[in-house]
């Protein structure tokens, strides 16, 4: 993604997500990678009217691919979404329920759009939700802050990458 993001730099968010994914894989827990895509002509866009036009943006080649830093693990589940939430119109819930998952840990871009929408849907589906606030970022720092401070506490627990990694660390 070439856009400017805040409050966390994209490289930091990717690095934290890699650390989390590696720890989950090491603990034998599923890792779900979510990619968003849509037709270049916007023909598969959500049809509802909005106050902000959504068409006309030309995305750079490869914008919708999982970053190489996270890709390449055949045991990971990849979900492709065409909406804000990773649940709507995908088989994410089916993948999770078949594996007996009751707790999900969310990260990503953009905090106030895709992450928040997915967190709301996860909560509505009855999952326990943990939101890793330093492993997500937004196109709008105020949007990020609003989600983290006002919305996420109503949907689940929040913590940092280090908080989650401590919980995953083996106890000997």
CATH topology of domain 10-168: Rossmann fold (3.40.50)
Q: Name the stretches of the chain with pLDDT < 70.
A: 1-2, 53-57, 172
The pTM of this model reads 0.92
Neighbours of 144 (CB within 10 A): 24
Per-residue model confidence (pLDDT) at position 172: 63
Q: What is the pLDDT of residues 5-33, one digit of tens each?
A: 999 999 999 999 999 999 999 999 999 99
Which of 68, 60, 76, 98 minimizes the C-alpha distance to 21? 76
Domain ranges across the chain: 10-168
Give buried/exposed letters for 145-166 (b at 16+ CB in 10 A, else e).
Answer: bbbbeebbeebbebbebeebbe
């Amino acid at each position: 993604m070439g856009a400017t993001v805040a409050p966390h730099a994209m490289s930091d968010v990717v690095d934290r997500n890699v650390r989390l994914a590696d720890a989950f894989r090491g603990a034998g827990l599923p890792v779900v990678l979510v990619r968003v895509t849509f037709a270049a002509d916007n023909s598969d866009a959500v049809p509802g009217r909005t106050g902000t036009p959504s068409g006309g943006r030309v995305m750079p080649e490869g914008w919708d691919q999982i970053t190489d830093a996270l890709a390449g693990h055949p045991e990971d589940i990849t979900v492709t979404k065409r909406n804000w939430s990773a649940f709507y119109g995908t088989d994410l819930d089916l993948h999770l329920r078949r594996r007996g998952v009751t707790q999900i840990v969310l990260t990503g871009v953009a905090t106030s759009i895709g992450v928040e929408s997915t967190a709301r849907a996860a909560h509505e589906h009855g999952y326990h939700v943990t939101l890793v606030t330093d492993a997500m970022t937004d196109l709008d720092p105020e949007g990020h802050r609003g989600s983290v401070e006002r919305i996420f506490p109503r949907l689940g627990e929040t913590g940092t990458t280090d908080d989650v990694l401590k919980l995953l660390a083996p106890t000997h």
